[in-house]
Amino acid sequence: MDRIRITGGNELHGIIPISGAKNAALPLMIASLLTDDTLTLENVPHLADVEQLIRILGNHGADISVNGRRERQGESYARTIHFTCRNIVDTTAPYELVSKMRASFWVIGPLLAREGRARVSLPGGCAIGTRPVDLFIEGLAALGANIEIDSGYINATAPTGGLIGARYVFPKVSVGATHVMMMAATLANGTTTIGNAAREPEVVDLANCLNAMGAKITGAGTSTITIEGVTSLSGARHRVLPDRIETGTYAMAVAMTGGDVILEGTDARLLDTALEAIRRAGAEITPTETGIRVYRNGGGIKPVDVVTDPFPGFPTDLQAQFMGLMTRSSGVSHITETIFENRFMHVQELARLGARITLSGQTAKIEGVPRLKGAPVMATDLRASVSLVIAGLVAEGDTTVSRVYHLDRGFERLEEKLTRCGAIVERVTD
């Protein structure tokens, strides 16, 4: 099993290309099930989750071809992938596929809208909370779907004539449920209004792609989305937006180590709140023609309190990384997690490096320490794993992170990107 070994102490200097967003690419790929034409997606990252979803879509009948592979200085750059699903050959998404990645559950929306039925296993993915599917079920039921749960599967059927437009207000903001209901509603009869919708950039990206395919969606990026159903969707060509979580992660790595790095191909507007927190911690962040520049030279890391919230708030997917940064601050900081109830599993691993963190409910108190010391640590989920890398970049000696398959799910060639900027990071295969 692969491990990542980091020797701490080096500043970061150079350019880090930001990949396409995993959290945008996955729903965009799933949207290909809504049409019998070809959907072409550019800037698709090469990640384990993307490869898993390719297998799942193939199981449903999608024909998938990849081009645009380029190599430059050892770095694999974005791919263009063509998805053509002329016929849905299977409306079942089996447990052995869905259990490996939660987002694969989202195929339920397009399958139900296009074929009138879907049998989808209850989802898997990172163990960072229960993340129930109630909101998905209630949203699809509002469109007229009949839904039953049997033997670990959700069986959904549309009424005769297809799904029916309706107004539904989510009791809680959910990015995944917003994706699913929006996709399902594109082929529903009549108009659908989604209240308390997620406002994340990835939701806007999906809406833009669906509109390019012929959907009629307005309001994406606000809390109210309106979808006027159409009889069919066509193919389109769409570029996946930059990964704001990867952007924030590398910005925090620079803030942690010191140095000067251009994050290339990203957009600061995608994560204003997170970048502002990193500025308050002592880093300078400025826009450039190709992305953003992050640098911290001389000054220390200041303590900053953050509370995770749905967009435009501080992203839960950057909470672990920010905690890693705060372990070396000059005082006491607090991080409150409001999205997932079990997303502090990285605390005990950071403590192995010498961090001082205490938990009280959903709030972590971090007392900054003057130094961290390398140790063997274990990744517990995708974002927690990269927080250990950030801490390891400044820890004295070697830090070895095991279970790096979590990293491979969401960070494209992380060790190569960091190494090119002066870090000592290598993948070790047993």
- Binding residues for UDP-N-acetyl-alpha-D-glucosamine, by number, are 102, 131-135, 172-175, 317, 339
Report the C-alpha gap between 228 and 215 in whole angstroms.
8
93 contacts 70 by C-beta, under 8 angstroms = no
Report the C-alpha gap between 79 and 413 in whole angstroms.
14
Query: What is each CA distance from 336 to 131, 183, 343, 362, in whole angstroms?
Result: 18, 32, 10, 6
Based on the residue annotation, tell me whether 126 is a catalytic residue of this protein.
Answer: yes
Q: Of 213, 144, 225, 145, give the one whose Cα is nearest residue 179.
A: 225
DSSP code of residue 337: -
366 contacts 323 by C-beta, under 8 angstroms = yes
- CB neighbours of residue 332 within 10 Å: 13
142 contacts 136 by C-beta, under 8 angstroms = no
396 contacts 8 by C-beta, under 8 angstroms = yes
Q: Is 87 helix (H, G, I), strand (E, B) or coil?
A: coil
Beta strand 398-402 pairing with 376-378: parallel
Amino acid type, 105:
F
Element containing residue 334 per DSSP (H, E): strand 332-336
| Positions at the binding site | 22-23, 102, 131-135, 172-175, 317, 339
Give the active site residue among 85, 126, 209, 421.
Answer: 126
Q: Is 429 helix (H, G, I), strand (E, B) or coil?
A: strand
Q: Of 298, 265, 299, give the one whose Cα is nearest residue 280.
A: 299
| Positions at the binding site for phosphoenolpyruvate | 22-23
User: Which residues belong to the active site?
Assistant: 126
